[in-house]
Amino acid sequence: MNHPQRFLPSDDHPYSIFRLPEALTCWQAVAVMGASYLAAALLAALGSMVGHVSIVFPVLLGLLALVLVIAGTSGAGVCLTDLARGRPYRGVLSYCVAGLFSLPKLLGAGLLMLLLYGAVLLGVALVLLVCKLPGIGPVLLVVAVPLLVLTVALALLGYYVAVSIVGPAIWDGERVMHALSITWGITRNHPFAAIGKIIGGLLLSGIFAALVFGLVGVSSAIVGGMAAPIIGTGMGLDWDALVGGYGSSHWVGAGIGYVLVFVTASAFVFLLPLMVGVLTWCEFSDKVDRSTIRSSTDSALNDVNARVAELKDKAQTPVAPAAAPVVAAAAAGATSAAVAAHPGNRCPQCAGVVHADDRFCEHCGHKLQ
């Protein structure tokens, strides 16, 4: 079994951005990502071929291809996390399974981050709605606009940092809420250092991606230019001829070959942004107290669960019957008894008990005399 390069505690920069090229030597990560991208491309091609049967097939196969891409990327991220942490490599199949199991956590974390950012935008909208008031509104906007711009800028900064490192946090074994809490701690304590590392790594990744795709594109053009006079310009696109085995349809085979080339190049290139996030997470997660953050997060979650359980118990507890109907029934019974005892002394309006010398009914106010 291959083992990644291990960094001793005496290393000054164990998670330096210059470790990016190590991602290209991790063949397990390349295999996981390349296989997932290739399978997704084949599913997308199959969906386009059977699209004339029903639109359901392209949609389902497209969703399945998207799941494969995300799961493969997640599996490659787990592999790169092991590389950065100096852990022994697992098998390719293990990384595929780990990426698939990480998919619900990634979706949950992404949904929570979108909700938080949406809450920030909702607060901005409410403040602007208050500033719509006539008279005082323009005065409020003088103060509100700078504060709102600063708030949205900080939210974007935090969201960008969180998106970059919350995935590596989950790949490193953190739970969703722990990953978000630790990410918030990193964003709050080291915002500019973290985003500087991320931007620097992405710039290096972009330069390398331009070189790789430029080289692959030029090489593909050269090969295609040589293939045209050698094989012939009438190579054709007849799929039935290719499957039937009687010549023609060479462009179909060439197209599949080009797809394989660009899928492999993409697998190499997209490993670099993943490695940037992994290195950023590994460096800055060691600069915060993760144990304390986990404990406080668990305590807050336990309090919330206790309150929810208490509210649920209160909602399920049957309400005690009101005493008013009993009192009313007793009063009605007493009135009936009194009426029965004195059938002649009754109010003609409400049949209430009255005295012989009463001029008005004490129950309804009807004039008796």
pLDDT at residue 80, as a whole number: 93
What is 197-261 written as a DSSP string? HHHHHHHHHHHHHHHHHHHHHHHHHHHHHHHHHHH-TT----HHHHHHTSS--HHHHHHHHHHHH
Q: Determine contact, residues 204/280, Cβ cutoff 8 Å.
A: no
Provide the 3-class DSSP secondary structure of residue 353: strand
pLDDT in tens, the chain (369 residues): 444 444 444 455 778 888 888 888 888 888 898 888 888 888 887 887 777 777 888 888 889 989 998 899 999 999 999 998 888 888 888 998 999 899 999 999 989 989 988 999 999 999 999 888 888 888 888 888 999 999 998 888 888 888 888 999 999 888 899 999 998 888 888 888 888 898 888 898 889 889 989 999 899 889 888 877 777 655 444 445 445 444 455 666 777 788 788 878 888 888 998 999 999 999 998 888 888 888 888 888 888 888 888 888 777 776 555 544 544 455 555 455 444 444 457 777 777 777 777 777 777 777 776
Q: Whole-model pTM?
A: 0.69
Segment holding 122, helix H or strand E: helix 92-130
pLDDT at residue 148, as a whole number: 92
Distance CA 61, CA 69 (A): 12
Judged on CB neighbours under 10 Å (0-12, 13-18, 19+), 187 is buried
For the chain, the distance separating the N- and C-terminal CA atoms, rounded to the nearest angstrom, is 112
Both structure tokens of 32: 């996981």
What is 277-301 written as a DSSP string? HHHHHHHHHTTS-HHHHHHHHHHHH
pLDDT at residue 240, as a whole number: 52
Please say whether the dihedral angle defined by the alpha carbons of residues 74, 76, 82 and 83, taken in this order, is positive or negative: negative
Amino acid (1-letter code) at residue 344: G
Both structure tokens of 323: 């005493």
